[in-house]
């Protein structure tokens, strides 16, 4: 006889003292309170810990303003992890430390020039992988991901993104068959096999939700959309991500989640 235990790890990265110098694409720069951002980030980590994750927090100096958005640096699958080549040159120095920690969990594959890829542009739902072509991610990255993932049974589809930073600014998964979407930013036709929940019309930035096994971590700033998730029977855990949002980050951006099953013989 045997059963399985699941180890859940969340890799996070501390908020840089230089967060206010972050990359901005669609937002106007406004002052950021780094201490408040750190407090919000700790609360986010606590929400992950409450859901059973062990937090592995990487350190970060003033030379990496955007490094808290660790999701952009890697994409983790059950079989392997892909280390990205971020579209913003200022972020490429973030990759070695993330690769060093991830190689303890997964065989690593690397996206190479001329490809550029941000993890925020990758939405995985089971064996379906959607890659947003954006200002950060190009078609060559889609081709490289397809070559890496096809032997493991994944299909990789390209999706055009408009009006927002990343694909996951526009669409995220709430369940295996349910997505949360801002249809102004990503075309619903690309996701025709899913049931879709639209963001509340007053909350265009609300499509980024972090799906865990039994709950959705979601920004408190979007109550209209949170109510729609509740109506679908989802358990919503609200977090205050308002300071990190000024740096054009959201809830999926701040962690890399790793699930490992281990068989135990009885």
Q: Which residues are catalytic?
A: 166, 253
Running DSSP on this structure, what letter comes out for residue 15?
A: P
Instruction: Provide the minimum distance between the beta carbon of 54 and ligand GLY in the complex, in angstroms, as a whole number.
Output: 26
**Nearer CB in complex with ligand GLY: 23/240:** 23
Give yes or no for residue 69 binding ligand GLY (CB under 6 A).
yes
**Nearer CB in complex with ligand GLY: 132/249:** 249
Q: Tell me, residue by residue from 3 to 42, as one string, x for binding to ligand GLY by CB under 6 A and - for no binding.
A: -------------------xx-x-----------------
**Integer CA distances (angstroms), 19 to 26, 62, 97, in order:** 16, 8, 18
Q: Tell me, residue by residue from 83 to 102, as one string, x for binding to ligand GLY by CB under 6 A and - for no binding.
A: -----x--------------
Instruction: Provide the minimum distance between the beta carbon of 69 and ligand GLY in the complex, in angstroms, as a whole number.
Output: 5
Instruction: Report whether 11 contacts 70 (CB < 8 A).
Output: yes
CA distance 10 to 48: 7
| Segment (H or E) for 173 | strand 171-175
Instruction: Report whether 134 contacts 121 (CB < 8 A).
Output: yes
Size of the site for ligand GLY (CB under 6 A): 10
- Hey, which residues between 246 and 265 contact ligand GLY (CB under 6 A)? 247-249
CA 36 to chain centre: 21
Instruction: Provide the minimum distance between the beta carbon of 140 and ligand GLY in the complex, in angstroms, as a whole number.
Output: 19
Nearest to 126 by CA among 84, 149, 154: 154
**Token code pair at residue 59:** 């350190």
- The residue ranges that bind ligand GLY (CB under 6 A) are 22-23, 25, 66, 69, 72, 88, 247-249
């Amino acid at each position: 006889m045997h059963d399985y235990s699941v180890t859940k790890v969340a890799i996070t990265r501390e908020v840089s003292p230089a967060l206010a110098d972050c990359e901005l694409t669609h937002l106007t720069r406004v002052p950021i309170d780094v201490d408040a951002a750190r407090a919000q980030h700790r609360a986010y980590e606590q929400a992950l810990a409450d859901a059973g994750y062990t937090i592995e927090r990487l350190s970060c100096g003033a030379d990496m303003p955007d490094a808290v958005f660790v999701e952009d640096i890697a994409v983790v699958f059950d079989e392997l992890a892909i280390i990205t080549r971020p579209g913003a040159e200022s972020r490429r120095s973030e990759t070695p430390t993330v690769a060093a920690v991830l190689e303890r969990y997964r065989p690593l594959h690397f996206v190479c020039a001329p490809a550029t890829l941000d993890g925020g542009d990758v939405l995985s739902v089971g064996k379906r992988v959607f890659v947003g072509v954006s200002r950060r991610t190009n078609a060559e990255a889609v081709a490289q991901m397809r070559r890496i993932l096809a032997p493991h049974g994944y299909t990789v589809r390209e999706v055009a993104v408009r009006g927002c930073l990343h694909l996951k600014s526009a669409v995220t998964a709430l369940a295996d068959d349910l997505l949360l979407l801002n249809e102004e930013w990503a075309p619903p036709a690309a996701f025709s096999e899913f049931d879709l929940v639209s963001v509340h019309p007053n909350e265009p930035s609300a499509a980024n939700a972090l799906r865990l096994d039994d709950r959705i971590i979601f920004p408190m700033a979007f109550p209209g959309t949170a109510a729609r998730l509740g109506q679908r029977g989802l358990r919503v855990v609200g977090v205050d991500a308002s300071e990190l949002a000024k740096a054009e980050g959201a809830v999926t951006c701040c962690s890399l989640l790793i699930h490992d099953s281990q068989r135990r013989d009885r």
